[in-house]
Structure 1
Amino acid sequence: MKFFISSSLCWDYHPKEVITLAKKFCFSGVEMWAEHIYHHDANAKVLRDYAKEEGIALTLHASSWDLNICSINKGIQEQSVKELKKSIDLASQLQVLHMTFHPGRFTVKDYLWEYHQDRLIENTQELLAHAADKQVTLSQELMEPIAKEILTQPKHMNVFQDKVGTELPVTLDIAHVPLHESSIQYLEQLRFVNSIHLSDSSKEQYHVPLGEGEVELQHILEVLSTMDVPIVLEGMDTSRELTFLKKHIQFLYNHKWIERKVSI
């Protein structure tokens, strides 16, 4: 399997250091977060060249915090599109395999469905056109079923893809699948999946270290092992200890999904 690490697991480390860590722990790649690169004022071309030198593949998670391409507030909507185009430009500079990005969401509850649906389609088409110009492959993330999110189920994503009018790959986040539903069924129902985000989940919290939640990980990993797509270990850790990442690694090692060649 091609395990990647999310750079958000190593937030306090410079993105170039994250590539070094991925190499150290024998991962195939890194999903860089755009906000992480901006936070450290990292040079995209330096990261691209260093990753190639180290044999580490790159994907990019676009900016998503505070953004909403469906917002009723036109200023926020327009700026959100601009920020995602900026992420696409960054993805082009990094020469990533693909860029995962979040869909828009409702501004207030689920009011004005048609307005939000139209903006979601139009603005996604605009982003796809910009990505095509930059030779960047996009991947739309299926979101968790929480208030205001629009694309939360495979059937919603499939209908949306048809309305967009072009092939749009999908990132399936295992932690976003409700615990009472099957991640495998989600995987089977979705079309064009080109990326997996992997972490555990509990009734109280999305995105916890592998083995600390209630997801049936063993069966899921058996299925994922047959796929040739990046499997990105996710989470947020702002410390220098890399506790979240090390828990992921320990779980995968204990269950023989990876070989631990260095001490953690």
Structure 2
Amino acid sequence: MNLFLSSTLCWQHSVDRVIEIANDLGFEGVEVWAEQVWFHRTPINQIIEAKEKYNVKLTFHAASWDLNLCALNEGIRQQSINEVEKSMLLAREIGALNVTVHPGKRTLTESWTQWHYDQLVTSFSSLAQFASNIGVEMSIEQMEHEKKEFIIDARSINELINDLPSTVKVIFDIAHVPLEKDILQYYSQIERINKIHVSDVTHSKYHVPLGSGGVQVETLLYMIMENQHPVILEGFDQNEGFSNLNKNVRFLRDKLNLSIKEVTSENISYK
């Protein structure tokens, strides 16, 4: 098991505290979100100290909120590249193993897909060179089937990464696969996967706690237990009571028999 905790499941806490929480609960590592570091103004030295103290592995999620790497507006497009580069530098500084990057989306209608795709290849080519220059590995996430997203399935993600250097990898996100599709078949068709995001999904909401949606237990078990890649438990929880995190933990413990602890008043001192 190579199970990591997304820092956003403890959004109310600084990243060094999240590392402490993840260690105490039994996770192998943490996927650190750039926005969380910046929002809490967490000092870099505190993240490094926590990583070394608890011997926790780190991956990294580049800035993605408010950004679009293939935006029609050139200023937005360039600033998005700048923010991802800034994220990569931060990842290198804290010793993260890999950086997740979201692809862009269409500004306009489906008929503009090729134009946006060409801009996306240009942006990612620049970012791949930047990542190589600073010694960071970049992975592109396959996105949800939403109106303006177009890097959403095996065909689109494989086409994109084959237009980029072989150093560019893919993050497979279970919650971005439509419920009527076979997740394992989706997974088997995508090339260069080196990291997996797990959470549950309903027909109306993404990244709900495990057991709250339609993802099958057997699929989750295979993804978590039979995979050598980092598997990141995803979601967003700004509740001081860790309600979403604990729902996930109870599912992992009760349904998959994993040795992960809940957050309780006895084992938490992070207020």
Shift in Å, 1:212: 0.7
The equivalent of 2:232 in structure 1 is 232
> 2:9 corresponds to which residue?
9
Q: Which moved more, 1:40-49 or 1:172-181?
A: 40-49
Structure 1 residue 263: Cα displacement = 6.1
Residue 76 in 1 paired to residue 76 in 2?
yes
Name the residue aligned to 1:222.
Answer: 222
Q: Report the residue type matching 1:86 in the other structure.
A: K
- Aligned residue for 2:139, secondary structure, equals strand
- TM-score, normalisation: structure 1: 0.96
CA-CA distance at 1:260 after TM superposition: 4.2
State the Cα deviation string for residues 17-71 of structure 1 (Å, max 9, x = none): 1011001101000111100000011122331232122011111111001100101
Say which SS state the counterpart of residue 31 (structure 1) adopts: strand
Aligned partner of 1:163 in structure 2 is 163
Alpha-carbon distance between aligned partners in 2 of 1:223 and 1:245, rounded to the nearest angstrom? 19
Q: Structure 1 residues 104, 61: closer, same or farther in 2, change over 3 A?
A: same
Map 1:58-77; keep pairs closer than 5 Å: 58-77=58-77
Q: Following TM superposition, by how much is the alpha carbon of 1:262 offset from its aligned partner in structure 2, in angstroms?
A: 6.3
Partner AA of 1:3 in structure 2: L
- Worse-matched range after superposition: 163-172 or 116-125: 163-172
Specify the alignment match of 2:188 in structure 1. 188
1:99 and 2:99 aligned: yes
Residue pairs, 1:104-183, within 5 angstroms: 104-183=104-183
Give a deviation string over 1:235-261, Cα, whole Å, max 9, x none.
Answer: 111121111110100001002431245
Distance apart, 1:125 and its partner CA: 0.7
- Match for residue 52 of structure 1? 52
Distance 1:153 1:95 in 2: 30
Helix, strand or coil at the partner of 2:163? helix
Question: 1:24, 1:262 within 8 Å by CA — same for their partners in 2?
Answer: no
Distance 1:48 1:103 in 2: 28
Q: Relative to 1, partners in 2 of residues 1:260 and 1:50: Cα closer, same or farther, differing over 3 Å?
A: closer
Match of residue 37 from structure 2: 37
1:91 and 1:250 map into 2 onto residues whose CA distance is 30
Change (3 A) 1:172 1:237: same
Q: What are the superposed Cα offsets for residues 153-192 of structure 1, whole Å, 9 maximum, x if unpaired? A: 0111111111124342111110000001011111111111
Q: Secondary structure at the match of 1:112?
A: helix
Could you tell me how far apart the structure 1 residues matched to 2:109 and 2:38 are?
A: 31
8 Å contact 1:101–1:141 — kept in the other structure?
yes
Give the match's secondary structure for 1:207. strand
- The answer to whether the Cα contact below 8 Å between 1:142 and 1:173 also exists between their aligned partners in 2 is yes
Paired position in structure 2 for 1:254 = 254
Contact 1:173–1:198 (8 Å) recurs in 2: yes
Tell me, yes or no, if the aligned pair for 2:128 and 2:165 is still in contact at 8 Å.
Answer: no
SS state at 1:60 partner = strand
Q: C-alpha separation between the residues in 1 aligned to 2:115 and 2:245?
A: 40
**In the alignment, is the contact (CA less than 8 A) between 1:183 and 1:220 conserved in 2?**
no
Query: Any idea what SS the aligned residue of 2:111 has?
Result: coil
SS at the partner of 1:139? strand
Asked if the contact 1:7–1:18 (Cα under 8 Å) also holds between the matched residues in 2, the reply is yes
**Aligned to 2:59, what secondary structure does the other structure show?**
strand
Task: Report the Cα distance in structure 1 between the residues aligned to 2:260 and 2:79, rounded to whole angstroms.
Answer: 44
Q: CA RMSD in A?
A: 1.4
- SS of the equivalent of 1:252 reads helix
The Cα offsets for residues 55-108 of structure 1, whole Å up to 9 and x where unpaired, read as 111111110011001011011011011011101111110111101010011002
Aligned-partner SS, 1:180: coil
Q: Work out whether residues 184 and 220 of structure 1, in 8 Å CA contact, stay in contact via their aligned partners in 2.
A: no
What amino acid sits opposite 1:2 in the alignment? N
The 1:74–1:49 alpha-carbon spacing in structure 2 relative to 1, beyond 3 Å, is: same
- Amino acid corresponding to residue 177 of structure 1 in structure 2: V
Q: Which runs of 4+ in 1 moved over 6 A?
A: none
Gaps of 5+ in 1: none
